Amino acid sequence: MANDAVGRQPKYQHIAAELKDAIASGEYGPGARLPGESDLMSRYGVARMTARQAFGVLQAQGLVEARKGAGVFVREYQVVIRRRGIQRLAVEVWGAGGAIWDVDGKGRAPVVEFLSVTEERPSGAVAAALGLADRAPVVVRRRRYLLDGKPVMLATSYLDAALVAGTAVAEPDSGPGGIYARLAELGHGPRRFREEIRSRMPGPEETARLGLAAGTPVVLVCRTAYTAEGTPVEVNEMVLDSSAYVLEYAFDAP
């Protein structure tokens, strides 16, 4: 039965599967150039379009990247950031005026581009997460983070405008310790966080802003910050370049 299934498999999928196995086995390591279209045409007796379709499968899976005029290469995943999901949010970090990035970057501070700080009507999902009735206005902080000159993350924070409008939270540079330190000064410092994580392929704008190669997925982290009383004070939607991150969570057993 298995041989019958392979026989019914389109040729480009069969070629892609064999190349994928060769990458997994180490025959083609990170950065290695794969056989060209002409090589595949000769080896498998297929048309050029079939060879291109096979490469397209591997690109869609994020395994390879095409370099104009050079060929198709096995993608190199070079982790530049280890995101320590729990330690980075400790009060001892932002409460002392530090940036939560200090925990991730180990001395390599990112460049933060403040794309915009506006007051808007939130989506229904954001309004519900913040407990806002009738989609009351929120302050929206949009940023892009670059490390060593490379974009690695987009972040959009939503905060109740009734709470933070006219304060440093509504300024591009909110000061030492960031918006969590400013919320604490307002008597609404976060003491508990909840993060949801998923992944998907990026949209065109995300691809452009993060400078992503074709086939690179993104990791979505949605964090809600709560006060000690359980009041939500911020929703932060982050889009991470998956090739740049490892997400690390260390915690004691409950």
Q: What is the pLDDT of residues 146-192, one digit of tens each?
A: 988 889 999 999 999 999 999 999 999 999 989 999 999 999 999 99
Q: Which two tokens stand for residue 210?
A: 């993060």
pLDDT in tens, 48-63: 999 999 999 988 777 8
What is the reported pLDDT for 82?
77
What is the reported pLDDT for 128?
95
Q: How far apart are CA 155 and CA 238, in angstroms?
A: 4
In degrees and rounded to multiples of 5, residue 122 shows phi and psi of -80, 165
Q: Where are the beta strands (DSSP E) in 148-191?
A: 150-160
Mean pLDDT confidence for 84-91: 72
Higher pLDDT, 38 or 96: 38
Question: Where exactly does CATH 3.40.1410.10 map onto the chain?
Answer: 81-248
Residue 219, SS3 per DSSP:
strand
Bridge-based pairing of strands 245-248 and 232-241 is unpaired
pLDDT in tens, 220-251: 999 999 999 999 999 999 999 988 888 888 88
In degrees and rounded to multiples of 5, residue 212 shows phi and psi of -85, 140
Question: Where exactly does CATH 1.10.10.10 map onto the chain?
Answer: 2-74
Q: Which two tokens stand for residue 233?
A: 């004070």
What is the reported pLDDT for 92?
67
Higher pLDDT, 73 or 77: 73
Domain 2-74 has CATH 1.20.210.10: no
One DSSP character per residue, 23-46 reads HHHTSS-TTPBPP-HHHHHHHHT-
> Architecture of 81-248 per CATH?
3-Layer(aba) Sandwich (3.40)
Q: Which two tokens stand for residue 98?
A: 């530090």
Whole-number percent of the chain with pLDDT over 90: 58
* pTM for this entry: 0.74
Contact between 240 and 152 (Cβ < 8 Å): yes
Q: What is the CA radius of gyration of the chain?
A: 23
Closest to 40 in 3D by CA, of 55, 26, 25, 28: 55
Question: Across the chain, what does the average pLDDT equal?
Answer: 87
